[in-house]
Amino acid sequence: MFENLSERLSGVFDRLTKQGALSEEDVKTALREVRVALLEADVSLPVAREFVKKVQTEATGQAVTKSVTPGQQVVKIVHDALIATLQGEGDPGQLKVDNPPAPILMVGLQGSGKTTTTGKLAKRLKDKEGKKVLMASLDVYRPAAMDQLAVLGTQIGVDTLPIVKGQNPVDIAKRAKQQAMLGGYDVYMLDTAGRLHIDEVLMQEVEDVRNAVEPRETLLVVDGLTGQVAVEVAQEFDDKIGISGVVLTRMDGDGRGGAALSMRAVTGKPIRFVGLGEKMDALETFEPDRIAGRILGMGDIVALVEKAQETIEAEQAEKMMKRMMKGQFNMNDLRTQLEQMQQMGGMEGMMSMMPGMGKMAKQVEEAGFDDKVLKRQIALIQSMTKKERANPKILQANRKKRIARGAGMEVSDLNKLLKMHRQMGDMMKKMGKMGKGGMLKQAMK
Ligand code: GDP
């Protein structure tokens, strides 16, 4: 899957990883090639552009990690950016099927794999979640499609709605709902008719069905091999019908990662499942990190960089902890802490994770800590000289004034920060005295 893109990116990174140091110009050059690779893999132009821009910003702002080459680091950054783009909210494999009977509407173009996917999902719901599922084909134009679903149903042991000739799709949908209610089904899946291209009649029909049953999930099935077309189809269906997710089929074939990437970026809708073959169990939950790994094909480099970063973080934390326990908690440490707090959802979020920090959490709350405050405090620390950061006690009134002004704040803001620093330092010292295996060590984990 996605070999094309992987190979292309591998080529780019082969060149990068051989270099010792990476200048900003090198990053730019590399990312230009990444962009071409993305475009050739059928990622849409705006998505590729946006993606590269994001990576550029991240790569440029980042300090080089020790013990890996800058090229390896760029691999990791590209990898993370891929995941971020591909990631949706929540578990993609969790279908909303509470409140039985829950209707699931399957939509998409003809030949996209809609009927097959309906069967695969029904089987999954039955086997993995123990749901009682009913399937119904709404394809009144192709009797063969109705038969196909019935055959699949028999094969996987899932009931299908008996075929009644002459009914329109809305009638069939209503009949499915009724049968699902009477028969005690948890879920009923509606396999709508597809067309070769999107047309008004098709959209209207799907819309009518949607209005008649109010589906809990509306899943768009698209052929992952159709690249750009798949993205346009997704956008169209989402505009007109409103979809809750995408299933990408044929990802077992000549993979082009582009569809996955731009589908997600363009529609904002999550990719929920990936079809990996014709068999009824050839369906997987969409996993962004796995797909990103496949797109890049450089999992070992990513792991290497992660390891290096973890080691460095652990070393830093260890050093800081030792200093803090000796009462040497300086402004640089405070800044590191504030930055970490920013990453962890603010002071309160972090305090709530630390045992024994209840009292401080309250002070923090009273001080009105939010992201903006954190940013301003970091700015204040940045305005100090190296010496002042190491030992804020040397700060005289005129320096305080200048520092506050430099950061666009009042001296009282700076005083508050200094007070907080003192209090934190005292507390850390106390905790340090409580022993190495004490609270602080726990909190640092
Ligand atoms: P529909 O017209 O959208 O209902 O499409 P079908 O479900 O009838 O599928 C069309 C063809 O694609 C069938 O031969 C399926 O077996 C095949 N197919 C569906 N999903 C996949 C997939 O994930 N991988 C592969 N290789 N073939 C698939």
ipTM: 0.99
- The annotation status of 115 as a binding-site residue, yes or no, is yes
Take residue 47 and report the two structure tokens written for it: 């998505």
* pLDDT for 2: 45
What domains can you pick out in the chain, each with its CATH number? 3-89+297-301 (1.20.120.140), 102-286 (3.40.50.300), 326-444 (1.10.260.30)
Residue ID of nearest Cα to ligand 1 atom 19: 113
Atom of ligand 1 nearest to the CA of 148: 8
Answer whether 112 contacts ligand 1 (Cβ < 6 A). Answer: yes
The residues near 195 (Cβ < 8 Å, ≥ 6 apart) are: 109, 110, 202
Q: How far apart are CA 79 and CA 293, in angstroms?
A: 7
Atom of ligand 1 nearest to the CA of 283: 23
Answer whether 249 contacts ligand 1 (Cβ < 6 A). Answer: yes
Report residue 249: phi and psi, to 5°.
-100, 170
Tokens 């019908």 locate to 241
Atom of ligand 1 nearest to the CA of 118: 7
Q: Which of 254, 138, 125, 147 is nearest to 194 (CA)?
A: 138
Give kind and range of the element (H or E) at residue 105.
strand 102-108
The residues near 181 (Cβ < 8 Å, ≥ 6 apart) are: 101
Distance 437 CA to ligand 1 centre (A): 59
Instruction: Tell me the whole-structure pTM to 2 decimals.
Output: 0.68
Indicate the SS3 state at residue 11: helix
The residues near 387 (Cβ < 8 Å, ≥ 6 apart) are: 394
Please state, as a whole number, how many other Cβ atoms lie within 10 Å of the Cβ of residue 278. Answer: 12
Residue ID of nearest Cα to ligand 1 atom 12: 113
Distance 169 CA to ligand 1 centre (A): 22
Answer whether 224 contacts ligand 1 (Cβ < 6 A). Answer: no
Ligand 1 pocket: which of 107, 142, 278 to mutate (most atoms within 8 A of CB): 278
Mean pLDDT, contiguous 10-residue spans, the chain (445 residues): 53 58 69 75 80 82 63 76 84 91 95 96 96 96 91 97 93 97 97 84 92 96 82 89 93 71 85 94 88 63 69 75 76 80 60 52 58 82 88 89 89 90 81 58 49
Q: How far apart are CA 238 and CA 259, in angstroms?
A: 16
Distance 255 CA to ligand 1 centre (A): 15
